[in-house]
Amino acid sequence: QKEVEQNSGPLSVPEGAIASLNCTYSDRVSQSFFWYRQYSGKSPELIMSIYSNGDKEDGRFTAQLNKASQYVSLLIRDSQPSDSATYLCAVLDTGNQFYFGTGTSLTVIP
């Protein structure tokens, strides 16, 4: 059974702070990793994808991948109340299947 683990939270940060979200995965041969944001009652939407070790930055978001440690993270800088949502980590295996974590609930306090 392939697993993707996230801290369920809830995680609360003040507006303007850095939010740090973490994810570990069990399938060592996974190559593609994704962070989705899901607002309550809505469908997931892609925030970041990362395929290589290291950091990938897109605006206020930075994804970090360490394949040796089977660890992927998402940093949100200058957090805004509109960032309040559940963040889902997803891992693609070699067989075309995506595995999702249970999500981390983030609340940004104004």
Partner 1 sequence: NAGVTQTPKFRILKIGQSMTLQCTQDMNHNYMYWYRQDPGMGLKLIYYSVGAGITDKGEVPNGYNVSRSTTEDFPLRLELAAPSQTSVYFCASTTTGADEQYFGPGTRLTVT
C-alpha 106/C-alpha 31 separation (Å) is 26
- Two tokens, residue 33: 């990793």
Residues 47-66 that bind partner 1 (CB under 8 A): 49
Q: Which of 34, 62, 84, 106 binds partner 1 (CB under 8 A)?
A: 34
Nearest to 21 by CA among 32, 36, 31: 36
Burial per residue of 4-26, b for 16 or more beta-carbon CB atoms within 10 angstroms, e otherwise: bebbeeebebeeeeebbbbbbbe
Residue 40 lies near partner 1 (rule: CB under 8 A): no
Residue 32 lies near partner 1 (rule: CB under 8 A): yes
C-alpha 110/C-alpha 33 separation (Å) is 30
Stretch that binds partner 1, among 14-22, 53-61, 67-75, 86-94 (CB under 8 A): 86-94
Q: Which is nearer to partner 1, 42 or 77 (CB)?
A: 42
Residue 45 lies near partner 1 (rule: CB under 8 A): yes
The DSSP letter of residue 3 is: -
Q: Which of 46, 78, 81, 109 binds partner 1 (CB under 8 A)?
A: 46
What is the binding site for partner 1 (CB under 8 A)? 4, 6, 8, 31-32, 34, 42-46, 49, 88, 90, 92, 96-103
